[in-house]
Structure formats: C-alpha cells, structure tokens
C-alpha cells in the first residue's frame, strides 16, 4: 500500500458543483467600447459625484460663453462676419483648453494606478495595451468636444444670423480637422504625465508647465526671431508646443491669423508630421507604461 502524498501547503479549491457561465460572451471590442464611453462620461464628471461635475462644466461654460456673445453681436448689430476665426477661437482660449486637459487627465489615467484598481480592469479580457489606447481615445474625444462645442455654436449661430454658408463651411471644417489633431496631442501629453505622476496636483502642474509655459516661451522666441529676421529659428521653435503646431498649420491653411510665423508648404508638412510623431511617441510610451504596470 502506497503512502498518500504529503498534503501540499496552501489552500485547495473544491468543486462545489456550482454551474459555470455558458451564455454568450461579449467580444473584447465591446469591452473596449464600454470603457471608452465610461471614460468619456467620467472626463466630464458624469456618473461620478456632484462635486466632480463642477470643474469640467464650469470650464466648458466659460469656454462657450464668448462664442455665444459673439453670435449675439453678429445677430444684433448685423456684422457681415464673425469677430473671430473658427481655428483662432480655441487658440485664444488655450488656457482653458489646457487647464481642462490637465485637470481631467488624472481622472482617467492616475486613479486606477494609484488605487491599483487597474488589476480589476486587466482581469477582464482586455489587454493593458488596449486599456491605455482606449483611455487616450476617450480623453481625446473629451478635449475635442470641449473645443468643438463652441466652434459649432459659432458656426450654427453664424448661419442662423444670416452669414453665407458657402463662405463659412470650409474654414469650419478646417478648424475641426485641426482640433482633432490638437486634441490627440493634448490627450497624449497630459495622459502620459498623469500616468507617471500619480499625485493629482503634481500631474496637473507638470501638464500646465508643458502646455502653457512652453507655448509662452515659444511665442517669445518666435517674436525675437521675427525681429532679428532669422525665421528658421521661429519655425523650429514652433515645433515644441502642440499649440504652436496648431496655430502654425491653421495660419498656413488660411484658417486663422493667430500664428506669428508664416509657414511655407514644406514647413506645414513638417508641422503635421511633428504632430503625428508627438501623438505616436506619447502612445508608445503610454502603452509601455501600462504594460509594465499591468505586469506587476
């Protein structure tokens, strides 16, 4: 008679006879879509506590208010055109847009890492790579909404006030295309910072420095370069901030006049390439960060 093997230390899982789940299972795409919608809602505080709705909606209200006022002046005074360009509007409100992106990125990227609830997401059939990309996509959508709402108000209000649809549509579409690019860059940068700096305030201040302070420096350098007539420095300097990339391309497309330097066709292509590179780099680093964190 052989001796029974010594019981191994640790617990044993008994099969108590509970029925397993045999029904239909949703695909990973469905999980990703649900996460996208939830994150988009959370970026505006929907589905969260009342206090977390205050900040995004106050910022959105301040963002939309000037657009409403402008439409009002057009309709009451009867101006022949809007007092701003569609692409120039978010640029003149860049402080608000940057603040929104910087303040809401930690909501989507920091909290799951800080409280380690990321393991609950990754226990689902959702890879850490998809998780990172979906979070980025929803922050992009949130920032895009933030800039697109006042733009649509300007466009729709302008048309209702009797502006010519043929003249207004092209700059409006150009502005929206640029905003997609801008939102992708802002979401990439702030998301990356928020996934590294888990303390809330720290991430916000770091994002603000990267987004607002750097663009201030770029503008000063560009102004000096213009004065000294060395335009190449001004053009190169513009590559260092998402805002100057946005404004530079908008200027060369004839969609706004808020850029200091005039870009040639080659430089415009260079700016667009730089925007794509920025987004791609941020995404690669984000995926690397979440792959590392998810593996722990």
Partner 1 sequence: MNSTIATLALQALLGRRRFLLLVAFPVLMVALTTMITVMTGLEDPAWTLVGELGYTLVLPLVAILAASSVLGPEVDDGSIVYLLSKPVNRHVVAVSKWVVAWATTLLVGAGSVFLAGVVAGGGDRAAGWAVAGLVAGTTYSALFLALSALTRHAVVIGLAFVLVWEGLLGGLLSGVAWLSIGQWGARVGHELSRDLPDPVGLPWAIGASVVVTLAALWFAGDRLRSFALTGDE
Q: Is 46 in the site for partner 1 (CB under 8 A)?
A: no
Nearer CB in complex with partner 1: 45/171:
45
* Cβ atoms of residues 243 and 229 within 8 Å: no
Judged by CB under 8 A, the residue of 10, 201, 229, 266 near partner 1 is 201
Among 52, 75, 231, 268, binds partner 1 (CB under 8 A): 52
Q: Computed over its alpha carbons, how large is the radius of gyration of the chain? A: 24
| Intra-chain end-to-end CA distance of the chain, in Å | 45
Tell me: does residue 93 bind partner 1 (CB under 8 A): yes
Please report where in the chains the tokens 């005039």 appear, as a residue: 262
Q: By CB under 8 A, tell whether 204 contacts partner 1.
A: yes
55-84 residues in contact with partner 1 (CB under 8 A) are 55, 59, 62
Q: Is the distance from CB of 232 to CB of 267 less than 8 angstroms? A: no
Whole-angstrom distance, CA of residue 9 vs CA of residue 22: 33
* Nearest-5° Cα angle at 125, 116 to 144: 70
Please tell me the distance from the alpha carbon of residue 215 to that of residue 172, in angstroms, as a whole number: 24
Given a contact cutoff of 8 angstroms between Cβ atoms, the answer to whether 69 and 130 are in contact is no
- Sole binder of partner 1 in the list 103, 175, 249, 282 (CB under 8 A): 103
Report the C-alpha gap between 260 and 239 in whole angstroms: 13
115-144 footprint of partner 1 as x/- string (CB under 8 A): x-----------------------------
Site map 223..252 versus partner 1, x via CB under 8 A: xx---x------------------------
Interface with partner 1 (CB under 8 A): 48-49, 51-52, 55, 59, 62, 93, 95-96, 99, 102-103, 111, 115, 197, 199-202, 204-206, 208-209, 212-213, 216-217, 220-221, 223-224, 228
């Amino acid at each position: 008679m052989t001796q029974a093997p010594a019981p191994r230390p640790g617990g044993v899982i008994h099969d108590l006879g509970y029925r397993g789940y045999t029904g239909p299972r949703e695909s990973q795409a469905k999980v990703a879509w649900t996460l996208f919608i939830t994150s988009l809602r959370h970026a505006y505080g929907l589905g969260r506590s009342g206090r977390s709705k205050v900040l995004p909606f106050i910022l959105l209200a301040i963002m939309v208010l000037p657009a409403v006022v402008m439409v009002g002046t057009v309709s009451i005074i009867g101006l022949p055109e809007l007092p701003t360009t569609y692409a120039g509007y978010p640029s003149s409100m860049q402080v608000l847009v940057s603040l929104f992106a910087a303040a809401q990125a930690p909501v989507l990227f920091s909290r799951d890492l800080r409280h380690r609830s990321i393991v609950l997401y990754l226990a689902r059939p959702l890879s850490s790579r998809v998780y990172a990309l979906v979070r980025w996509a929803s922050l992009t959508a949130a920032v895009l909404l933030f800039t697109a709402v006042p733009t649509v108000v300007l466009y729709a209000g302008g048309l209702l006030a009797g502006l010519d649809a043929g003249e207004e549509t092209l700059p409006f579409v150009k502005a929206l295309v640029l905003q997609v690019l801008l939102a992708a860059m802002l979401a990439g940068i702030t998301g990356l910072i928020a996934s590294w700096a888990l303390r809330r305030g720290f991430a916000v201040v770091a994002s603000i420095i990267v987004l607002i302070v750097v663009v201030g420096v770029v503008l000063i350098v560009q102004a000096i370069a213009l004065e000294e007539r060395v335009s190449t420095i001004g053009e190169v300097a513009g590559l260092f901030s998402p805002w100057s990339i946005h404004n530079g391309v908008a200027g060369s497309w004839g969609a706004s006049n808020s850029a200091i330097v005039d870009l040639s066709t080659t430089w415009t292509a260079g700016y667009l390439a730089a925007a794509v590179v920025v987004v791609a780099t941020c995404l690669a680093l984000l995926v690397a960060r979440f792959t590392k964190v998810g593996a722990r």
